[in-house]
Amino acid sequence: MLEVRLFATLREGREKVYFLEAEKYKVPADILDELKIPHEEVAITLINGRHSKLDTSLKDGDLVAIFPPVGGG
Amino acid sequence: MEERFIRQTVLPQVGTSGQEKIEKAVVTVIGAGGLGCPVLTYLVEAGVQQIRIIDCDVVGLSNLNRQFLHTTQDINKPKVQSAAEKLQQLNPQVRLELIDQRLTVENMAELIGAPDVVVDCLDSIAVRLLVGEYCLRYDIPLVEGGIKGFYGWVTTINRKTPCLACLGYHAEMEETEIPVLGTTAGVIGSLQANECLKLILGAGTPLTGRMLHYDGLSGSIDEIALQINPNCPVHSKLC
């Protein structure tokens, strides 16, 4: 199972947290496609708190956090 | 003990010695806008007496939905000046150093100096990254916060914790005219001020190695643990 947590505007029209079958999602890009998140809206992807790319391999038990850019002051 | 601070000095985490720490602390606040207004207000009200404020902008009408240290009468006035006028009234003992210049790689050391804490209230990711590298290089604790719309985040950074570059922030993420509700800036700026005061006092648990995420639409706060990226361009160079 993968735990996927969406942050900021990526939550709008979606859930905050998804639990997804690990076998179906090999990389974070697969999750974005499943959740209909345009790749260009994603600024930061973390796997278990560490920076990852959209083609970084996922494994069962991973926590995937996905952020849009939030840098206003 | 001065009556002004009595409601906080009665706290076991503050007390007389903590108040002395607050009053002796030197803080640099970068940005006197949406985040900077609550950060500066709460630091001054808590009794921080030495604050350097860096901001090169002037007050504009579109700032006034959130930047409460500035008023309609302050339009076109330098933000550092406008903010300082109000902050001096909040606590006349505060010694403010006003820097009305744009931060660059070249002037960063001169402008930021060597404070006890830097609080980053910028709206530019590119400059945030420069500030982050500077603070890591000189081992200065850095309180970061960012806002957009109803959402915001706060994290505290030092050499042993992930920085924004670790997380994948890069200069090309720059956005302009970022939409934001004033209350979001108020919440996140207040949390940044709280982090800064915790660092000064040595109280509680700093937001190091974790990011607090505020969701004003659902009315919830989440936390996500962060890890240093072994390939981080800043950490791998400095630490």
On whether residue A11 sits in a domain, the answer given is: yes
Contact pairs from chain A to chain B, CB under 8 Å: 94
Q: In chain A, which residue's Cα lies nearest the Cα of B38?
A: A73
* CB-nearest partner of B146 from A48, A51, A71: A71
B213 in the Ramachandran plot: left (φ > 0), alpha (ψ -120 to 50) or beta? beta
Residue B81: its pLDDT value, please?
Answer: 98
A11 to A17, B3, B164, B184, B223: CA distances (angstroms): 9, 46, 22, 16, 15
On whether residue A40 sits in a domain, the answer given is: yes
Q: A50 near B12, Cβ under 8 Å?
A: no
Tell me the pLDDT tens digit for each residue of B137-157: 999 999 999 999 999 999 999
Tell me the pLDDT tens digit for each residue of A2-39: 999 999 999 999 999 999 999 999 999 999 999 999 99
Query: Which is higher by pLDDT, B2 or B17?
Result: B17
Residue B239: its pLDDT value, please?
Answer: 66
Tell me the pLDDT tens digit for each residue of B66-97: 999 999 999 999 999 999 999 999 999 999 99
* Contact flag A71-B125 (C-beta cutoff 8 Å): yes
* Contact flag A44-B36 (C-beta cutoff 8 Å): no
On whether residue A13 sits in a domain, the answer given is: yes
- Express as a percent the part of chain B with pLDDT over 90: 93
Average pLDDT over residues B29-50: 98
Q: What's the domain range around A62?
A: 2-67
Interface of A with B (CB under 8 A): 5, 7-9, 11-12, 16, 43-46, 48-51, 65, 68-73
Question: To the nearest whole angstrom, how far is the Cα of B114 from the nearest Cα of chain A?
Answer: 22
How many whole angstroms separate alpha carbon B52 and alpha carbon B38? 15
Give the mutation candidate from B177, B227, B236 for the A interface (greatest A CB count, under 10 A): B227
Residue B190: its pLDDT value, please?
Answer: 98
* Contact flag A49-B178 (C-beta cutoff 8 Å): no
On whether residue A72 sits in a domain, the answer given is: no
B122 in the Ramachandran plot: left (φ > 0), alpha (ψ -120 to 50) or beta? beta
* Contact flag B35-A73 (C-beta cutoff 8 Å): yes
- pTM > 0.95: yes
The tokens for B72 are: 């309609």
- Where does the pLDDT of residue B175 fall: very low under 50, low under 70, confident under 90, or very high at 90 and above? confident
Whether residue B176 has pLDDT greater than 90: no
* Contact flag A70-B35 (C-beta cutoff 8 Å): no
* Contact flag A7-B226 (C-beta cutoff 8 Å): no
Chain B residues close to A69, C-beta within 8 Å: 125, 148, 173, 175
Whether residue B173 has pLDDT greater than 90: no
* CB-nearest partner of A73 from B34, B169, B218: B34
On whether residue A50 sits in a domain, the answer given is: yes
Strand positions, DSSP E, B105-183: 117-120, 142-148, 151-157
Whether residue B207 has pLDDT greater than 80: yes
Nearest to B47 by CA among B28, B19, B67: B19
Residue B172: its pLDDT value, please?
Answer: 86
How many whole angstroms separate alpha carbon B221 and alpha carbon B214? 5
Q: What is the mean pLDDT of chain B?
A: 96
How many whole angstroms separate alpha carbon B216 and alpha carbon B205? 23
On whether residue A73 sits in a domain, the answer given is: no
Instruction: Show which of residues 95-134 on chain B sit within 8 Å of chain A, judged by CB atoms.
Output: 120-125, 128
DSSP secondary structure of B103-115: --TTTHHHHH-S-
How many whole angstroms separate alpha carbon B84 and alpha carbon B220? 33
Residue B238: its pLDDT value, please?
Answer: 81
- Where does the pLDDT of residue B237 fall: very low under 50, low under 70, confident under 90, or very high at 90 and above? confident
Average pLDDT over residues B184-200: 98
On whether residue A48 sits in a domain, the answer given is: yes
Residue B149: its pLDDT value, please?
Answer: 96
* Contact flag B215-A50 (C-beta cutoff 8 Å): no
Residue A41: its pLDDT value, please?
Answer: 94
Residue B236: its pLDDT value, please?
Answer: 85
On whether residue A14 sits in a domain, the answer given is: yes
**HSE-up of residue B68 (Cα within 13 Å, Cβ side):** 14
What is the number of domains present in chain A? 1
Average pLDDT over residues A52-61: 97
What CATH number has the domain bearing residue A8? 3.10.20.30
Letter for the amino acid at B172?
E
Show the DSSP H helices in chain A as ranges: 28-34
Q: Which residues, other chains included, contact B239 with Cβ-Cβ below 8 Å and sequence gap of 6+? A: B136, B159, B160
Residue B165: its pLDDT value, please?
Answer: 94
Chain A residues close to B213, C-beta within 8 Å: 7-8
* Contact flag B224-A5 (C-beta cutoff 8 Å): yes
